[in-house]
């Protein structure tokens, strides 16, 4: 599978549905890995980049602002790298919503996938958000 994955995460919000309070927000306008964020290689060693638009102009521009987070691997090695936020404390919230924008390129009928995982503690296991 040719790995072409563009993630247009112009706005990442975790909000409390009851009070509509923004708990966490990142727009990648610094043009680099944001402070407190990290990358974890699941397969291969391809880094996320922060740029205007994406590979082959997909997407042509960020959803809002100038930069977006982009993951691109031009091979068939099934590279995968986690883009990890700093810890987000949701202790005082009973119901939350995750909102983000993303774009993926279809490559001649081949389409990669995006999965969102979470942990309930720093030493805990990753859980797939469903």
pLDDT at residue 26, as a whole number: 93
Cα separation, 115 vs 69, whole angstroms: 15
Q: In this structure, are residues 88 and 24 in contact, taking their beta carbons and an 8 Å threshold?
A: yes
pTM of the predicted protein model: 0.77
pLDDT in tens, the chain (130 residues): 444 333 333 333 444 445 578 899 999 999 999 999 999 999 999 999 998 887 777 788 888 889 989 888 888 888 999 999 999 999 888 888 899 888 887 777 777 788 899 999 989 999 999 8
CB-based contacts of 103, cutoff 8 Å, min separation 6: 6, 7, 8, 54, 58, 59
Q: In this structure, are residues 28 and 51 in contact, taking their beta carbons and an 8 Å threshold?
A: no
Q: Which of helix, strand or coil describes residue 55?
A: helix
Cα separation, 111 vs 43, whole angstroms: 18
The DSSP result for 92-127, as a single string, is: T-SSEEEE-------BTTB------EE-SSTTS--E
């Amino acid at each position: 599978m040719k790995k072409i994955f563009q993630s247009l995460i112009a706005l990442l919000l975790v909000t409390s549905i009851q009070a509509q309070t923004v708990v966490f927000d990142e727009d990648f306008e610094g043009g680099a890995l944001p402070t407190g964020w990290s990358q974890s290689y699941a397969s291969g060693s391809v880094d996320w980049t922060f740029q205007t638009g994406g590979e082959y102009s997909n997407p042509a521009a960020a959803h809002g602002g100038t930069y977006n987070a982009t993951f691109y691997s031009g091979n068939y090695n099934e590279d995968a790298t986690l883009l990890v936020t700093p810890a987000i404390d949701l202790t005082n919230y009973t119901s939350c919503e995750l909102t983000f924008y993303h774009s993926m390129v279809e490559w001649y009928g081949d389409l990669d996938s995006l999965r969102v995982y979470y942990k309930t503690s720093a030493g805990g296991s990753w859980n797939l958000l469903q």
